[in-house]
């Protein structure tokens, strides 16, 4: 099983600041990585798939990068609705796994 490790566990930032979230895989997943946002009491929402493709309706302030074992989700300028938990996910060989999440909180 491929283990995904997200860092930091919590990110404390102010609206308008840039957020940089990391996801590291225990072995290479190529570009097979996605990012999701989950607000309290809500199901997750797909933001990025195939490492860098924005999902339908996702604002341009969200961007993804990386390949192999190291990936980054960047939120260029935080909006109030962006304070949430973010998960990465890989899909190798139909053994899908998620990371432990990064909480982005208001500073």
Partner 1 sequence: QVQLVESGGGVVQPGRSLRLSCAASGFAFSVYGMHWVRQAPGKRLEWVAVIYHDGSNQHYGDSVRGRFTISRDNSKNTMYLQMNSLRAEDTAVYYCVRDLNSGWHDYWGQGSLVIVSS
Which residues contact partner 1 (rule: CB under 8 A)? 1, 32, 34, 36, 43-46, 49-50, 55-56, 87, 89, 91, 94-101
Q: Quick one: tokens of 11? A: 């990110």
CB of 5 vs partner 1, minimal distance in Å: 11
Q: Which is nearer to partner 1, 75 or 88 (CB)?
A: 88
70-75 and 62-67: which strand pairing?
A: antiparallel
Parallel, antiparallel or unpaired: strands 70-75 and 4-7 = unpaired
Q: Please, what's the b/e burial string for 7-21 (b: 16 or more CB within 10 A of its CB; e: otherwise)?
A: eeeebebeeeeebeb
Least separation in angstroms between residue 17's CB and partner 1 is: 25
Least separation in angstroms between CB 93 and partner 1: 9
Our CB check for partner 1 shows the closer of 49 and 71 to be 49
């Amino acid at each position: 099983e491929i283990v995904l490790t997200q860092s930091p566990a919590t990110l404390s930032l102010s609206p308008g600041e840039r957020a940089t979230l990391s996801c590291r895989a225990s072995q290479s997943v190529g570009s097979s990585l996605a990012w999701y946002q989950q607000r309290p009491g809500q199901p997750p929402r797909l933001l990025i798939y195939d490492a860098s493709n924005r999902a339908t309706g996702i604002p341009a302030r969200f961007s993804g990068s990386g390949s192999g074992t190291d990936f980054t989700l960047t939120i260029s300028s935080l909006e109030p609705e962006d304070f949430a938990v973010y998960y990465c996910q890989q899909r190798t060989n139909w053994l899908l796994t998620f990371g432990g999440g990064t909480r982005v909180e208001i500073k």
